[in-house]
């Protein structure tokens, strides 16, 4: 593949044995040591992506927060790396919040999302002075009761529906009018009216997110313009100053050579320049700029390693290559028809001469990870690698068919360390209760 160097982790090499090497570690050795399926995360790629955002945005805008979208891939060890690079985090659940606490993330660097937050989650956010993104009027009402009970104020942004439809899969669009996320303009006005008279509410500003795996910059330009209009309305009608604007995330990444996402630098330049220029033109004070990259931080950093099992030819139709994982460790092909780039880790110097359909081991006909792709001639026991699996693969993994979820290992400087241990059958059974006769 011509663009493999743009899709694989940045530390990728091929050694003299024709094996894929990540972070200075032979992938075949990783598979032998930790077993497969195996999620591998490359430290060099993670740091490079964090620095591209943190340094790239800070150089273009005076007050910023890069809040990593934790839903993309979250573990305590991973978050420690991101925190070292200056990133904050956006969380959507009590579990993600406690992971942030465990990693020592400062409350002022945490953004708490969610369209149906529980009272317990609201209590946690208010208790620890965490920035809350309020999704709807009912949540605002619940928050009023929580603040009264705790005797504390809530620090909030309102999540809005910008009415912008990014060109991406329908399941990962969020900015359009028909979305479960955010307030339409009438509800926003009701919320602003409530906030303007609520002593328990520290109003920070607005949040808008238009989707995920986005390849065009124009929707972000439209998002900035939409936010400027709401900032003016909040000031002129309700007397509320917008101190923060959260423009979400969603920048796409390369999964195959058919993808063409903008560069991170181009994306950040557009956001920063558009917001500064528009605020100056409308005589608005510059708000803090928050962005929430997820996939574009961790996507390219991750690969998944499988072991090839049965190869089943169906004459005149296709040759199935079965691997020891599938939909339970990567739901995205079934859910989004996602496509990936594949290699054979122990045959990196061989030419792709055979067409395979890669299928998983789960009891579903739709458990197919890749259709009709070209690989070197594969033998049982070879190590099959899928690139760009750092985002959403581990976080969406399940125990379907009582599958033991894979380990996650971090590689860098010739070393590997476990971020998440491989589950065992006893782990899968640990919550079962039964009585013997």
404 is catalytic: no
Residue 419 maps to which CATH number? 2.40.37.10
Q: Does the pLDDT value for residue 110 go beyond 80? A: yes
436 occurs within a structural domain: no
What the block records as the tokens of 263 is 């560069």
Q: From the candidates 189, 201, 279, 363, which is the catalytic residue? A: 363
Q: How far apart are CA 339 and CA 253, in angstroms?
A: 12
The pLDDT value recorded for residue 179 is 72
The pLDDT value recorded for residue 242 is 98
Query: If pLDDT is split at 50, 70 and 90, which confidence band does 164 have?
Result: confident
Q: How far apart are CA 248 and CA 157, in angstroms?
A: 12
Query: If pLDDT is split at 50, 70 and 90, which confidence band does 419 have?
Result: very high
The answer to whether 250 and 211 have CB atoms below 8 angstroms apart is: yes
The pLDDT value recorded for residue 2 is 46
Q: For 183, which DSSP code? A: B
Radius of gyration of the chain (CA): 23
What the block records as the tokens of 285 is 């004070």
Phi/psi at 294 (5° precision): -130, -75
Q: Does the pLDDT value for residue 422 go beyond 50? A: yes
Query: If pLDDT is split at 50, 70 and 90, which confidence band does 177 have?
Result: low
The pLDDT value recorded for residue 22 is 98
435 occurs within a structural domain: no
Residue 145 maps to which CATH number? 3.20.20.10
Of 282, 297, 312, the position where a domain reaches its end is 297
Lowest average pLDDT, out of 19-28, 177-186, 226-235, 281-290, goes to 177-186
Please report which helix (H) or strand (E) contains residue 151, including its range: none
Q: How many CB atoms lie within 10 A of CB 198?
A: 18
Q: 24 with 84, same domain?
A: no
Looking at residues 347-352, what average pLDDT do you find?
Answer: 97
Of 242, 275, 297, the position where a domain reaches its end is 297
User: pLDDT of 1-42, one tens digit each?
Assistant: 446 888 999 999 999 999 999 999 999 999 999 999 999 999
User: pLDDT of 372-391, one tens digit each?
Assistant: 999 999 999 999 999 999 99
CA separation (Å) from 299 to 34, 35, 391, 393?
Answer: 21, 22, 5, 9
Q: Does the pLDDT value for residue 414 go beyond 60? A: yes
Q: 197 with 98, same domain?
A: yes
Of 297, 320, 335, the position where a domain reaches its end is 297
What the block records as the tokens of 174 is 């969020």
Phi/psi at 157 (5° precision): -120, 150
Q: Report the C-alpha dihedral over residues 71, 77, 83, 88, rounded to 10 degrees.
A: 20
Q: 101 with 237, same domain?
A: yes
Overall domain count for the chain = 2
Q: How far apart are CA 28 and CA 42, in angstroms?
A: 15
Q: 418 with 372, same domain?
A: yes
Q: 291 with 316, same domain?
A: no
Q: Does the pLDDT value for residue 323 go beyond 50? A: yes
Lowest average pLDDT, out of 23-27, 207-211, 278-282, 348-352, goes to 207-211
Q: Does the pLDDT value for residue 157 go beyond 60? A: yes
The angle at the Cα of 112, spanning 110 to 116, to the nearest 5 degrees, equals 170
The pLDDT value recorded for residue 437 is 62
Q: How far apart are CA 264 and CA 81, in angstroms?
A: 20
CA separation (Å) from 190 to 118, 203, 238, 410?
Answer: 22, 14, 10, 47
Q: 55 with 188, same domain?
A: yes
């Amino acid at each position: 593949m011509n663009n493999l160097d743009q899709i694989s982790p940045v530390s990728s090499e091929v050694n003299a044995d024709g094996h894929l090497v990540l972070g200075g570690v032979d992938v075949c050795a990783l598979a032998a040591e930790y077993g497969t399926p195996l999620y591998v995360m490359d430290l060099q790629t993670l740091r490079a992506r964090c620095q591209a955002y943190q340094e790239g945005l800070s150089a273009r805008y005076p007050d910023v927060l890069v809040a990593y979208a934790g839903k993309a891939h979250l573990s305590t060890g991973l978050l420690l790396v991101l925190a070292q690079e200056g990133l904050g985090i956006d969380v959507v659940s009590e579990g993600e919040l406690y992971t942030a606490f465990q990693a020592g993330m400062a409350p002022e660097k945490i953004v708490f999302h969610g369209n149906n937050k529980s009272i317990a989650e609201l209590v946690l956010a208010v208790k620890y002075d965490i920035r809350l993104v309020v999704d709807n009027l009912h949540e605002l009402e619940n928050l009023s009761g929580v603040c009264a009970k705790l005797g504390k104020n809530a620090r909030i942004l309102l999540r809005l529906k910008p009415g912008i439809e990014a060109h991406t899969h329908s399941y990962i669009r969020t900015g359009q009018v028909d979305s479960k996320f955010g307030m339409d303009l009438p509800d926003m006005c009701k919320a602003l009216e409530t906030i303007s008279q609520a002593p328990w509410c520290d109003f920070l500003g607005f949040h808008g997110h238009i989707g995920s795996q986005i390849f065009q910059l124009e929707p972000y330009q439209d998002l900035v313009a939409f936010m400027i209009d709401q900032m003016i309305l909040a000031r002129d009608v309700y007397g509320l100053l917008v101190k923060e604007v959260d423009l979400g995330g969603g920048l796409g990444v390369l999964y195959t050579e058919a993808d063409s996402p903008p560069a991170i630098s181009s994306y950040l330049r557009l956001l920063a320049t558009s917001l500064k220029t528009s605020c100056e033109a409308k005589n608005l004070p510059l708000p803090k700029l928050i962005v929430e990259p997820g996939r574009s931080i961790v996507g390219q950093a991750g690969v998944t390693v499988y072991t090839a099992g049965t190869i089943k030819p169906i004459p005149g139709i296709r040759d199935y290559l079965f691997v020891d994982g599938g939909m339970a460790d990567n739901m995205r092909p079934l859910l989004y028809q996602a496509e990936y780039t594949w290699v054979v880790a122990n045959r990196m110097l061989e030419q792709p001469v055979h067409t395979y359909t890669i299928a998983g081991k789960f009891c579903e006909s739709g458990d197919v990870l890749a259709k009709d792709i070209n690989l070197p001639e594969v033998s049982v026991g070879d190590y099959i690698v899928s690139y760009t699996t750092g985002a959403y693969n581990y976080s969406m993994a399940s125990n379907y068919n009582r599958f033991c979820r894979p380990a996650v290992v971090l590689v860098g400087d010739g070393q590997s360390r476990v971020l998440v241990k491989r589950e065992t059958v006893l782990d899968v059974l640990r919550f079962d209760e039964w009585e013997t006769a």
